[in-house]
Structure 1
Amino acid sequence: MTRNTTTTHAGAGGRRRHPQRRVRRRTRPLDSFASLKRELAVIIVLSSAIAFAMCWFLLKYGWSGWIAMPLTLVVALGITYWFSRGLTTPLRQMRDASEAMAEGDYSVRVEVDPGRADEIGQLARAFNQMAGELEHADQMRRDMVANVSHELRTPVSALQAMVENMADGVTDPTPANLESILDQTQHLGDLIAFLLDLSRMEAGAASLQIERFDLAEFLDDTVEPLELADGGHAHDIRLDVPREVTLEGDRDRLRQLFTNVIANALKHSPDGTAVLIEAHEDEARGTIVTNVVNFGSQIAPEDRSAIFRRFVQGKHGPGTESGGTGLGLSIARWAAQLHGGTVRVVDDERGADFEITLPKHHVSGQ
């Protein structure tokens, strides 16, 4: 399980991350108005009043109307232009920021007065939020390229080396060597499955084949291949699941959910330690709660939500494995949400505790 501090990895070979850059603006006299219509009304009334007073003054002191009227019009236009700059400046800045973003610089922001409450102020803040989300999405894209490239390169390089050695007669195709090739092939298959799951997540939904099944038998079947894959790590997987508790859902999607959470606990548990899987039925809420407890380790509260984000990998303590795509827990949360359930980290003195809550009966439309 991911522990304490989480880090994300920048994409290898990607664009250099720009420091966040803001387009600055000055506060204008009309920024305190809460409505653009009110600001325009004030500008019109103010310029009209000044133009009327100036025209009356010039005519009173004998100026010709052919001179007073054009002069008054120029002054009124100047006043209108000066006051309207505060309205249009953020729009020009957003135009410049959009051009910078089109060139790949997602760090640009429009600096807007926090006290500005009109529609343009709201638009500027929404623009900054959108720019932040685009910057995050671009970083995630580069992270994905880096993670997938790394994960593909390792098994492919190992396969190439083993096959070349066999082709050159350096090594013999013994059962042990063939098993190593099979392991690397399985690694590639798992990565492809992760990427397919990611595409389903991006699509926002997946078809579910709902059936009712026994929870204890389901978890037994789920844990068995994980125990075999655990190899020489000597982890003790303990099941404390009541018999005759049934659950409705899609077996394949729920297997993804439990496999990813349990495998995560095994992966980040020191050799020779135990992982507890316990379940109980909450009759009052109509749910089944399963806890996967990794004894001895903990996850800091401020990191508990971040570890479910895509491509986020944690720092690993001594005696635990590292690496991975950073997709497992994100896919687990997606599978839980498809069933109207949740997966989260809860406080537990025994260690890091991943709590999976699923409705006992599937509700159509979830």
Structure 2
Amino acid sequence: LKKNSLKWQIAIYLGTFAAVLISVIWIFQMFLLQPMFEKSKISAVKKTADTVSEAILSSEEDLNEAIYDISLQNETCVRILTSNMTVTAGNSGCALYRMKGRELKENIDNAVENGGSYLNTKTDPGFELNGRELKEITYTKIIDNGDDLNVVMVYTGITPLNATTDTLRSQLKWITLIVVVLITLIIIVLNRKIALPLSSITKEAARLPDGAYHADEKNNQYREAQQLNETLEQAAEDIRKADQAKRDLIANVSHDLRTPLTMISGYGEMMKDLPGENNEENLQVIIDESKRLTVLVNDLLDLSKMQAGRITLELTDFDLAELIRNEIRKYDVYQYNESFEFEVHLPETAMVHADEKRIQQVFNNFMTNAINYSGDSRKVIISMTLENGHVRTEVKDFGEGIDEKNLKNIWDRYYKVDKQHVRFSSGSGLGLSIVREILDLHDAEYGVRSKMNEGSTFWFELPLIQK
């Protein structure tokens, strides 16, 4: 189901809001104005009756003056009678004084039957305004002041609001027109400030799979659009890097496969065609290149399986310090043949719970990397420290080092910091990628510290087995 575009969503939401707002105003003014006005007048007569009652009970000295003020304030008429229908106070001249005795008695009797108060609402057929009859409200309240019963009667009239309604109707038409114009302008502004930049970003984002996204500063109308632009631009840059890494991967794998295959093929043909070359030395070259091929293929398979989550760790308890001591012995050949110096600082024991073969693989990759990038110093320091229930293993070389901007990329497949300063190696170029995958599977901490012309230190950390 195709969704509406953002500009139409904005128009629909704001249009709906305006329609609801105008409808509510029209309903209140056209249909609820008269009932609400009547309710307020009823409240006014009851309030007047209560105030006058308090004045009677408190024996107000100038009761007529108090009644006048109250009546003026609430636009009401007040009449006070005794139980025998004798008028004691009030403001003369209103409809209460034109009320016949029978009608007075009827209101008082209804008040007595009703528990002390009675509200009488009726229309006056003798008075009309714009086709509507005047509505009269009479409120009767009985007061027992101890000596006698007093009757407080409060009257007010409700004039029809035809003229007011007509005036409001005319105003509401203009208000409706103004609201429609304002909502239209708001929709246009929001579309230009929000919808159009997002539409432009979306159109440009269609080029993202090719890594060709370019952020337009004109679309940075607000912070979220700017952040989206920056995120997509970073994604495009990552796609370009990933695409370049894919091409580099193919090129490097092809090169690493072709080189030993060429050596094997060349030496094989030479041994076949030249009987004098069929010797142990040439045969060893073929064996070495075959091993190199095996290492490369195994590393590719391992990395692929790890990234696909198809590798299961075989966790056991073992002594990491003993493991590293045994592994370092394998590198004695570099001391004898190439004058390497290995400085070792290991504790007596460091028991961990991990996959022994995979941790061995991690250490050997760090060692291979240190040897390849040791430069002319030919010195490598292997150290292990125990702290806070963890054991940290470090392999430090004194080579060219790694520029800070390249540190985050060294764990990528086939990433080469500087090919000029690397020694010849039979490694696959996937070592640090494999290290990352193995240590991530162990939820282990790892990293690298490096300074240019001072060397690099690769490390990983595992929790010790608590005795």
Question: Which TM-score tier does this pair reach, normalised by the shorter chain?
Answer: 0.5 to 0.7
Q: Secondary structure at the match of 1:184?
A: helix
Instruction: State the AA in 2 paired with 1:356.
Output: F
Task: Give, in whole Å, the separation in 1 of the partners of 2:247 and 2:439.
Answer: 27
Q: Secondary structure at the match of 2:417?
A: strand
Task: Give, in whole Å, the separation in 2 of the partners of 1:268 and 1:325.
Answer: 15
Q: What is aligned with 1:291?
A: 394
Task: Give, in whole Å, the separation in 1 of the partners of 2:229 and 2:403.
Answer: 35
Task: Give, in whole Å, the separation in 1 of the partners of 2:394 and 2:357.
Answer: 20
Structure 2 gaps of 5+ residues are: 1-8, 23-179
Task: Give, in whole Å, the separation in 1 of the partners of 2:454 and 2:293.
Answer: 35
Q: Relative to structure 1, is the Cα distance of residues 99 and 171 closer, same or farther in structure 2, using a 3 angstrom cutoff?
A: farther
Q: Relative to structure 1, is the Cα distance of residues 157 and 296 closer, same or farther in structure 2, using a 3 angstrom cutoff?
A: closer
Q: Relative to structure 1, is the Cα distance of residues 84 and 271 closer, same or farther in structure 2, using a 3 angstrom cutoff?
A: closer
Q: Relative to structure 1, is the Cα distance of residues 132 and 41 closer, same or farther in structure 2, using a 3 angstrom cutoff?
A: farther
Whether the 8 Å CA contact 2:413–2:429 is kept in 1: the answer is yes
Whether the 8 Å CA contact 1:201–1:334 is kept in 2: the answer is yes
Once the two structures are superposed, residues 68-108 of structure 1 have per-residue CA deviations (whole angstroms, 9 ceiling, x without a partner) of: xxxxx9xx989956863554434544554455455xx3122
Q: Does 1:276 align with 2:381?
A: yes
Instruction: State the AA in 1 paired with 2:14.
Output: A
Q: What is aligned with 1:200?
A: 305
Whether the 8 Å CA contact 2:350–2:464 is kept in 1: the answer is no
With normalisation by structure 1, the TM-score equals 0.67
Identity %: 28
Select between 230-239 and 261-270 the one with higher mean Cα deviation: 230-239
- 1:35-46 correspondence to structure 2 within 5 Å: 41=14
Q: What is aligned with 1:188?
A: 293
Instruction: State the AA in 1 paired with 2:349.
Output: E
Once the two structures are superposed, residues 100-141 of structure 1 have per-residue CA deviations (whole angstroms, 9 ceiling, x without a partner) of: 455xx31223425445245x6665554444333333322221
Cα RMSD, aligned residues only: 4.0
Whether the 8 Å CA contact 2:447–2:458 is kept in 1: the answer is yes
Higher relative contact order (CA 8 A, sep 6+): 1
Select between 135-144 and 154-163 the one with higher mean Cα deviation: 135-144
Q: What is aligned with 1:256?
A: 361
Instruction: State the AA in 1 paired with 2:448.
Output: V
- 1:2-81 correspondence to structure 2 within 5 Å: 41=14
Q: What is aligned with 1:235?
A: 340
Whether the 8 Å CA contact 2:414–2:429 is kept in 1: the answer is yes
Q: What is aligned with 1:354?
A: 458
Instruction: State the AA in 2 paired with 1:308.
Output: W
Q: Relative to structure 1, is the Cα distance of residues 230 and 172 closer, same or farther in structure 2, using a 3 angstrom cutoff?
A: farther
Task: Give, in whole Å, the separation in 2 of the partners of 1:319 and 1:204.
Answer: 32
With normalisation by structure 2, the TM-score equals 0.54
Q: Relative to structure 1, is the Cα distance of residues 124 and 40 closer, same or farther in structure 2, using a 3 angstrom cutoff?
A: farther
Q: What is aligned with 2:241?
A: 136
Q: Relative to structure 1, is the Cα distance of residues 229 and 42 closer, same or farther in structure 2, using a 3 angstrom cutoff?
A: farther
Q: Secondary structure at the match of 1:289?
A: strand
Instruction: State the AA in 2 paired with 1:165.
Output: M
Whether the 8 Å CA contact 1:268–1:321 is kept in 2: the answer is no
Select between 240-249 and 167-176 the one with higher mean Cα deviation: 167-176
Q: Which of the residues 395, 398, 417 maps onto 1:314?
A: 417
Q: What is aligned with 1:89?
A: 196
Deviation at 1:294, TM superposition (A): 1.3
Whether the 8 Å CA contact 2:362–2:435 is kept in 1: the answer is yes
Once the two structures are superposed, residues 254-274 of structure 1 have per-residue CA deviations (whole angstroms, 9 ceiling, x without a partner) of: 012101101100111246722
Q: What is aligned with 2:264?
A: 159
Q: Does 1:340 align with 2:449?
A: no
Whether the 8 Å CA contact 2:10–2:187 is kept in 1: the answer is no
Task: Give, in whole Å, the separation in 1 of the partners of 2:287 and 2:392.
Answer: 36
Deviation at 1:238, TM superposition (A): 3.1
Deviation at 1:318, TM superposition (A): 5.5
Deviation at 1:183, TM superposition (A): 1.0
Whether the 8 Å CA contact 2:205–2:232 is kept in 1: the answer is no
Q: Secondary structure at the match of 2:348?
A: coil
Q: Relative to structure 1, is the Cα distance of residues 44 and 87 closer, same or farther in structure 2, using a 3 angstrom cutoff?
A: farther
Q: Relative to structure 1, is the Cα distance of residues 123 and 273 closer, same or farther in structure 2, using a 3 angstrom cutoff?
A: closer
Query: Larger Rg: 1 or 2?
Result: 2
Instruction: State the AA in 2 paired with 1:133.
Output: D
Once the two structures are superposed, residues 310-348 of structure 1 have per-residue CA deviations (whole angstroms, 9 ceiling, x without a partner) of: 322121566844796542122223222222222222369
Deviation at 1:228, TM superposition (A): 4.2
Whether the 8 Å CA contact 1:211–1:248 is kept in 2: the answer is yes
Q: Relative to structure 1, is the Cα distance of residues 39 and 263 closer, same or farther in structure 2, using a 3 angstrom cutoff?
A: farther
Whether the 8 Å CA contact 1:147–1:325 is kept in 2: the answer is no
Q: Relative to structure 1, is the Cα distance of residues 162 and 322 closer, same or farther in structure 2, using a 3 angstrom cutoff?
A: closer
Task: Give, in whole Å, the separation in 1 of the partners of 2:213 and 2:276.
Answer: 56
Q: Secondary structure at the match of 1:211?
A: strand
Instruction: State the AA in 2 paired with 1:245.
Output: A
Q: What is aligned with 2:317?
A: 212
Q: Relative to structure 1, is the Cα distance of residues 230 and 153 closer, same or farther in structure 2, using a 3 angstrom cutoff?
A: farther
Q: Does 1:224 align with 2:329?
A: yes
Q: Secondary structure at the match of 1:281?
A: strand
Q: Secondary structure at the match of 1:304?
A: helix
Deviation at 1:39, TM superposition (A): 11
Task: Give, in whole Å, the separation in 2 of the partners of 1:225 and 1:243.
Answer: 20
Aligned pairs, how many? 299
